[in-house]
Amino acid sequence: MSTGHVPRFRVAMANTDEDLSKAQALRYEVFVQELGGSGALVDHEFGLERDCFDPYFDHMLLYDDAVNKVVGVYRMLRMAQAESAGQFYSENAYDLTLLRATGRNLLELGRSCLHADYRGGTAMMHLWSALASYIDYHNIEIMFGVASFHGTDTKALAMPLSLLYQRHLAPEALRVKALQKNSQNMNLIPENRFDRKIAVRQVPALIKGYLRLGGVVGENASVDYAFNTTDVCLVMDISVMNGRQKRIYGSIS
């Protein structure tokens, strides 16, 4: 983190259109300007990354009160909200039949991002701590969401994708699959034919964080050409998180 000041973090839920616009503005900066993404409802004139699902999600904002701006965001969709929306957001890319069939209380996570100046520090931990409280409050049993690698060339991502498949594949009962139209095999290189340390370095920090908390990945990847990403579906069964992982999740107060 290179903010040049001591941040004062505060997490709050978006309650107004202005709050939501702050989240969408940061998403525009990260997903559109930085990563080259796009979308039907992206507003280039006002610098907002938005979509038709935003009205149904809860939006969590991380403020740095020292500079009075939003520096991190998350959005969360509970089952009742998904019913109102007609589907979970991820169902545009993944078949979630297995998760729905568990009969357990699901939460979808998405659009997680931090301002570039706040990466590598404690900012994400503040978001995760608030998310842990949200999960407890709503009695969430399984959370899931799409996490992304930058770029759509799966050959260039062969090592980290293979590592995720070989070391962190979800159990069959939770092993969601990408829809055929953009589905990509993740098991691209035998484990004895690539450097695991290099592969680990190529896994984005957010995905590593979910893995440390007990997250597992679906059967295959999905290429999102609009967002210029290769996505994996991460699933976390809250009941299997061990004590150490729960302490990590709630370690920032």
In a domain, 38, yes or no: no
Tell me if the pTM is above 0.85.
Answer: yes
Report how far apart the first and last C-alpha atoms of the chain are (Å, whole number): 20
The H helix count followed by the E strand count for the chain is 8, 11
Contact 152, 230 (CB under 8 A): yes
User: Looking up tokens 């004139």, which residue turns up?
Assistant: 45
In a domain, 155, yes or no: yes
Q: What is the CATH number of the domain that holds 87?
A: 3.40.630
- For 57-107, what is each residue's pLDDT tens digit? 999 999 999 999 999 999 999 999 999 999 999 999 999 999 999 999 999
In a domain, 57, yes or no: no
In a domain, 33, yes or no: no
- For 31-50, what is each residue's pLDDT tens digit? 999 988 887 878 999 999 99
In a domain, 171, yes or no: yes
Q: Provide the domain limits for residue 103.
A: 75-249
pLDDT (0 to 100) of residue 227: 84
For the chain, what is the domain count?
A: 1
In a domain, 135, yes or no: yes
In a domain, 68, yes or no: no
In a domain, 101, yes or no: yes
